[in-house]
């Protein structure tokens, strides 16, 4: 049996030939290099996609007795998911253009000149521009003309690219309609359809319509979309929920993972893996139905996150996988590139110049932080007030490992529905091992909270964050742990306008005083799972009043809010606060579906009060 597959985006891929026979399996790369798929005694780790020649990416096979060939083929098929699908027939040409390299690779010194000079106020503008000719033709013209000034360079860009127009969601400055009606009307405003993309456009085409966040965010984003879809469901827009699930399945099939967003410059990283949670929205009365239908994509995404697992030694890490001191496996955020971000090239290079750190490691840590979705936060700094102290790749985060626990359980449920008992046992075991590792490394019994773990120093990070609610969201906490998290959250994170991202004020947008819609939902939904109904209602009410107060003043919904001063926009970060806004619309609409009595409240004093051990200290 042999099939040709293409692994990942062009930046990391080579054609490969997988050969399977009774004696084992091998993978031939470019018909000139053969990587033997190693065979190991006993139960072997799950195989992962081969995106490089690193020997840690080898795919182990179990040669156990009666189940030898079945286990080997099962594990190899998971690896093949990373190369084109469970049936060896998923590989198909992407709908997007053939230029899958990011703009800084395509446009070389032109890109450096434009971004280094800060030609555009928003560093995302030029990477999102559509070239009117091939990159080679444009580069030849640039090197021939050598524009001598910023004005001349801007004119050159205008003559060879179509620059993006800012997308604005309409605001209502007087007599705004009910917020639910406003959100329902915004879905069509924020919906895009891009089944094709222009040649060498950085935009990745998608087969179905999708909802964008709004403002400068003109493309679909991975983790944003789950929270957007919650609102679509509440607005009875199941059509768009199904369309977006199909889009994300397509991305996994085409690129081997869901990228950060649908731009070529996002292909080297993902975002928090919420695809399994999206599937839960398709068949809420029978979750395994959708999990079974999309099981190949779930398995393939899992292979992406676990790449390199099989060859790690205790105390080492590879890409997104970390083997801790006792050999337990957890995950970290990562990016496959170690260069400045296309969309923030000038900011990253300036920081590297000022930091006196090895530039490549700094760039990797910056990019890994963007994979978290928390870009940026003191969570990722060794010194909370020094942005150059990024150490993201040294941290095992609570949220990512909670979601991977959820993904493992989702795969188990899909396998059970498909009557594949071997697969179900495999992923039940994986989920159990991860939960034990979460309890050992991420649970802080003294603080009564889940905290990130800096594995290079074998210590928890210094601060609690809104990520502490994630184990509740996926059911990884015991009832006692959930009660402790509720108390700690009310004591340290609950503010007048909702849950604060972290208690630290740094000027970064994922720190105080900001609150974000997704963290409110994770907290509320997680607390409800453990019957912490009072605190869940308090958080929901305070957040909804915060959003409603600002909406009544401006007619707008924003990406983030100040939870210390309800009714005010959040701030900080690398760009102005955006309006629109996908996940705020989604979470607000979903919370109002749960708590309709809160829609017309205008003062947090009208919200319920916290009860229980934390009531005395909650703000």
Residues marked as catalytic: 375, 559
Q: Which two tokens stand for residue 157?
A: 């860009």
Place of tokens 């230029």: 99
Instruction: With CA atoms as reference, report the closest residue to 232 among 271, 292, 288, 278.
Output: 278
Place of tokens 């971004």: 115
Cβ atoms of 596 and 234 within 8 Å: the answer is no
Burial 124-147 (b: 16+ CB within 10 A, else e): bbbbbbebeeebeebbeebeeeeb
Q: How many residues does the chain have?
A: 619
Cβ atoms of 226 and 274 within 8 Å: the answer is yes
**Rounded to an integer, what distance in angstroms lies between the CA atom of residue 251 and that of residue 204?**
9
**Rounded to an integer, what distance in angstroms lies between the CA atom of residue 174 and that of residue 177?**
9
Query: ∠ CA(351), CA(379), CA(476), 5° rounding?
Result: 150
H helix intervals, 398-458: 398-417, 421-441
Cβ atoms of 572 and 508 within 8 Å: the answer is yes
Query: ∠ CA(56), CA(58), CA(62), 5° rounding?
Result: 125
Angle between helices 295-305 and 68-81 (to 10 degrees): 80
Q: Supply the DSSP string of 144-181, one letter for each residue.
A: HH---SHHHHHHHHHHHEEPPPPB-PPP--SSPPPHHH
**Rounded to an integer, what distance in angstroms lies between the CA atom of residue 132 and that of residue 566?**
46
Cross-strand pairs, 444:
449
**Rounded to an integer, what distance in angstroms lies between the CA atom of residue 466 and that of residue 451?**
10
**Rounded to an integer, what distance in angstroms lies between the CA atom of residue 320 and that of residue 331?**
5
Query: ∠ CA(396), CA(443), CA(375), 5° rounding?
Result: 40
Instruction: With CA atoms as reference, report the closest residue to 517 among 578, 596, 453.
Output: 578
Q: Is 281 in a helix, a strand, or coil?
A: helix
């Amino acid at each position: 049996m042999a099939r040709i597959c293409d692994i990942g985006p062009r930046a990391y891929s080579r054609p490969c030939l997988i050969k399977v026979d009774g004696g084992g399996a091998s993978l031939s790369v470019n018909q000139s290099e053969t990587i033997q798929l190693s065979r190991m005694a006993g139960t072997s780790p799950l195989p992962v996609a081969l995106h490089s020649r690193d020997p840690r990416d080898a795919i182990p096979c179990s040669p156990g007795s009666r189940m030898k060939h079945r286990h080997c083929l099962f594990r190899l098929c998971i690896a093949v998911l990373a190369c084109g699908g469970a049936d060896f027939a998923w590989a198909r040409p992407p709908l997007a253009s053939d230029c899958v390299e990011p703009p800084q690779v395509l446009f070389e010194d032109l890109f450096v000149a434009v971004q280094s000079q800060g030609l555009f106020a928003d560093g995302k503008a030029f990477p999102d521009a559509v070239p009117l000719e091939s990159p080679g033709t444009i580069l030849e013209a640039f090197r021939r003309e050598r524009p001598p000034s910023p004005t001349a360079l801007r004119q050159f860009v205008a003559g060879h690219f179509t620059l993006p127009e800012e997308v604005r969601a309409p605001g209502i400055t007087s007599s705004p309609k009910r917020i639910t009606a406003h959100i329902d009307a915004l879905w069509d405003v924020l919906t895009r359809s891009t089944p094709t993309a222009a040649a060498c456009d950085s935009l990745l085409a998608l087969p179905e319509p999708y909802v964008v966040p709004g403002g400068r965010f003109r493309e679909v984003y991975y983790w944003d979309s789950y929270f957007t879809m919650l609102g679509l469901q509440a607005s009875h827009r199941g059509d768009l929920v199904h369309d977006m699930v199909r889009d994300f399945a397509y991305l996994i099939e085409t690129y081997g993972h869901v990228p950060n967003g649908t731009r070529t410059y996002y292909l080297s990283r993902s975002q928090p893996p919420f695809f399994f949670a999206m599937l839960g929205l398709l068949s809420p009365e029978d979750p395994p139905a959708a999990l079974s239908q999309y099981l190949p994509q779930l398995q393939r995404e899992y292979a992406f996150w676990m790449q390199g697992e099989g060859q790690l030694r205790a105390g080492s890490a590879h890409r997104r996988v970390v083997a801790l001191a006792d050999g337990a496996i957890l995950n970290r955020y990562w990016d496959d590139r170690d260069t400045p971000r296309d969309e923030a090239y000038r900011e990253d290079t300036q920081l590297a110049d000022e930091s006196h750190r090895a530039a490549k490691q700094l760039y990797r840590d910056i990019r890994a932080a963007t994979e978290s979705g928390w870009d940026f936060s003191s969570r990722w700094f060794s010194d909370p007030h020094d942005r150059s102290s990024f150490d993201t790749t040294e941290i095992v985060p609570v949220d990512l490992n909670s979601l991977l626990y959820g993904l493992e359980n989702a795969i188990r449920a899909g396998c059970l529905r498909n009557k594949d008992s071997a697969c179900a046992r495999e992923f039940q075991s994986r989920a159990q091992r991860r939960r034990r590792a979460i309890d050992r490394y991420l649970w802080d019994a003294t603080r009564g909270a889940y905290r990130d773990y800096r594995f290079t120093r074998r210590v928890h990070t210094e601060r609690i964050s809104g990520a502490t609610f994630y184990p509740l969201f996926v059911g990884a906490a015991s009832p006692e742990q959930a009660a402790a998290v509720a108390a700690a959250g009310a004591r340290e994170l609950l503010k007048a306008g909702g849950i604060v991202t972290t208690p630290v004020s740094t000027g970064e947008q994922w720190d105080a005083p900001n609150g974000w819609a997704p963290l409110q939902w994770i907290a509320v939904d997680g607390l409800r799972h453990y019957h912490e109904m009072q605190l869940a209602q308090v958080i929901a009410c305070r957040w909804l009043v915060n959003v409603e107060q600002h909406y009544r003043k401006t007619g707008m919904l924003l990406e983030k809010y100040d939870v210390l001063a309800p009714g005010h926009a959040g701030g900080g970060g690398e760009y102005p606060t955006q309006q629109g806004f996908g996940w705020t619309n989604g979470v607000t609409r979903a919370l109002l579906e749960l708590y309709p009595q809160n829609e017309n409240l205008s003062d947090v004093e009208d919200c319920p009060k916290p009860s229980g051990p934390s009531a005395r200290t909650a703000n």
